[in-house]
Structure 1
Amino acid sequence: MTTRGLVVGKFYPPHRGHKHLIGTALANAGEVHVVVCERPGEDPPAALRAGWLREIHPAARVWVIDDRYDAGDSAVWAENCTRLLGFAPDVVFTSEDYGDRFAACLGCRHVLVDRPRVAVPVSGTAVRSDPLANWDFLEPPVRGFYARRVVLVGAESTGKSTLAADLAAALGTVWVPEYGREYWEAKVRRGEANVWRPDEFVAIARGQCGREDEAARRANRVLVCDTDAFATRVWFRRYMGGWSAEVDAVARGHRRPDLYLLTDIGTPFEQDGTRDERLAAACAAVRETLGRAPGRGCGAVAPPSG
């Protein structure tokens, strides 16, 4: 008969201590169920934490349970977990002092795993307090959530891509190129540079967000982005003459950056065959009006409210 194991916790957020605990369960039970406790207002929420655990431990079966009850009432928790699973487990794995009481209420064995946190010296409280300091204890999906995001915005030919690459190199991390530029260059090769459809901007916004989220998993604490979906809203207005509710929804629904860097328009315009000459002329007119000299650099701004 298959041995059914149980692991219960907040996993708030999942870290490598939890990975060690669940890995031990998977190595010692034929079937492992992981129950994630949920309380309103937690960030990251339980549903997201459960999704991360399913990715990290695809062999485990992950559940979410209401966490409104007294954490010290092992009998209630045993009853609720049994009701949730539809059976009582054969063995429960914990790293906590309550494990023996909980297992007794379940009528099963208890395996205590690294209670003094020697094998993996980390806690959820420590991660929430300073995720960057505990970076080495986090798996890629959790890193993607906590990575600080810096976005460069500004007119064409103001050095965004160069600055993004240089910043990423200086920080020892990765950066996200502008997906819209890649999309535009493909249109130029097809001879469609002057023909735009509204749905293309939605695709660009989604593509940019998707690449940003993927790169955040590989980032070293900070992710640098050459533009974002917010800038796609501006390009939609430039080419379509108005605002797009769909593009706006993509931009507003995505993770907000921690910092925007706005590049100045004072650098000389360089036409590489894909850039908008009319925008270059407009930038030049603004520069002349403001009396700005080339090389003014960039400024830091807060994320936009909309």
Structure 2
Amino acid sequence: MKSHRHGLVLGKFYPPHAGHHHLVTTAADRCERLTVLVCAASVESIPLADRVAWMREVHNSPGVRVVGAVDDVPMDLDDPAIWDAHMEIFRAAVPEPVDAVFTSEAYGTELGRRFGAESVCVDAERSLFPVSGTAVRQDPIAHWDFLRAPVRAALARRVVVLGAESTGTTTLARALADHYRERGGIWARTRYVPEYGRAFSEAKLARLRERRPGAHWSEVSFTSDDFPLIARRQQEQEEQAARAGSPVVFCDTDAFATTIWHERYLGGTHEEVARIAAAGRQHLWFLTDHEGVPFEDDGLRDGEELRPWMTDRFDAELRRTGRRTVRLTGPHPRRLATAVAAVDALLDEGWNFADPLPDRTGTTTASPLTERG
């Protein structure tokens, strides 16, 4: 039997982590209804809508409602006027009566009093999940195991390998994933995303051969409608890998590359494919040069003479769209070493989260918007 009718959990969730989820799950187990209030300041770099969406995905059980509010009130909860200002925002977002407020902080008693609700403290010592939002922002990699799938997907660094036919893109993407897996720990979960366009092409050729055994790849035809499907599926596979993997995911091509493949087969651009590519969340592109790489016909290739044109088109569009790109030349070991150095540099840059509003609260009182950091 539930001990409370309507409970409340509030915080910044900047970003959400295992401690937050434990707090919400505990509250949900004890309440007939639970409201989770996500409060974000305008200066912060993770949008409120994203945090609300992440919390809704994780806590989607019946009786749990997640809402959001912008709270740009300065942080000083030793000041009753500041408390009043925060409470005005909280009450506007959660106007219903609340009979229990769940927190892991010392401020819970005052928050409960102001809501006219019981204050319930959950794991104040952080013994179950020794993590805070501040710690995650400072070093996401060190706290990766405390993050759930939607946050991992948002934070994972996505690295794309693309290039003309038979230039070693698949070999390099797989080698990069293997290199980072060998580092162990969270890196052992590093994912490689295969080229969906190849699987799509293999299926086309197989269907053709069902009708005409012995049909050659050159007899396969594409339509413009094929390319949005390829781009969307490539992006879906990338998203799945980012949600389950390590802080970096390696992709053998992406939706952006599909725009060039459309040019190669049908000429011109495809607006829908371009829109899909624009919505991508990739961070670094490696362009594999064709020079010095023998062309190997694996049964799905017929464009050796087009490789210089494709390399130039990739290069031109990567530059035009401002994508962070490293062009890889020379033998495979040199390409791999160059790529690893570039990925390490990307990871070393960190995530550069914007600082939350400064908290002027004294050392004896914590703010409800600095819960678990």
Give the structure 2 partner of residue 44 of structure 1: 46
The one of the two structures with greater contact order (alpha-carbon pairs below 8 A, sep at least 6) is 2
Give the structure 2 partner of residue 83 of structure 1: 92
**Residue identity in the other structure for 1:190:** R
| 1:111–1:239 Cα change, 3 Å | same
2:50 alignment partner, SS class: helix
In structure 1, distance between residues paired with 2:310 and 2:271: 29
Are residues 1:175 and 2:192 paired?
A: yes
Give the structure 1 partner of residue 36 of structure 2: 34
Give the structure 1 partner of residue 83 of structure 2: 74
Are residues 1:261 and 2:286 paired?
A: yes
* Deviation of 1:150 (Å): 1.4
Given that 2:160 and 2:282 are in contact with CA atoms closer than 8 Å, whether structure 1 keeps it comes out as: no
* Deviation of 1:296 (Å): 8.0
Give the structure 2 partner of residue 202 of structure 1: 228
2:14 alignment partner, SS class: coil
Give the structure 2 partner of residue 128 of structure 1: 137
Cα deviations by residue, 1:201-232 (Å, 9 ceiling, x for unpaired): 11211111111011101112211110111111
In structure 2, distance between residues paired with 1:35 and 1:128: 20
* 1:183-262 mapped onto 2 (5 Å cutoff): 183-191=200-208, 194-257=220-283, 259-262=284-287
| 1:28–1:180 Cα change, 3 Å | same
TM-score, normalization: structure 1? 0.87
* Deviation of 1:81 (Å): 2.8
In structure 1, distance between residues paired with 2:99 and 2:105: 18
**Residue identity in the other structure for 1:213:** E
* Structure 2: unaligned runs, 5 residues or longer: 182-189, 209-216, 312-328, 347-373
In structure 2, distance between residues paired with 1:165 and 1:25: 44
Equivalences, count:
296
Cα deviations by residue, 1:251-296 (Å, 9 ceiling, x for unpaired): 1221132x22222322222212111x2x213438999xxxx98658
* Deviation of 1:190 (Å): 2.5
In structure 2, distance between residues paired with 1:120 and 1:140: 17
**RMSD (Å), alpha carbons:** 2.7
Are residues 1:24 and 2:6 paired?
A: no
* Percent of aligned pairs with the same amino acid: 44
Give the structure 2 partner of residue 272 of structure 1: 298
1:171 alignment partner, SS class: helix
Given that 2:101 and 2:119 are in contact with CA atoms closer than 8 Å, whether structure 1 keeps it comes out as: yes
**Residue identity in the other structure for 2:71:** D
Give the structure 2 partner of residue 141 of structure 1: 150
* Structure 1: unaligned runs, 5 residues or longer: none
* Deviation of 1:10 (Å): 0.6
Of residues 29-38 and 292-301 in structure 1, the stretch that sits farther from structure 2 once superposed is 292-301
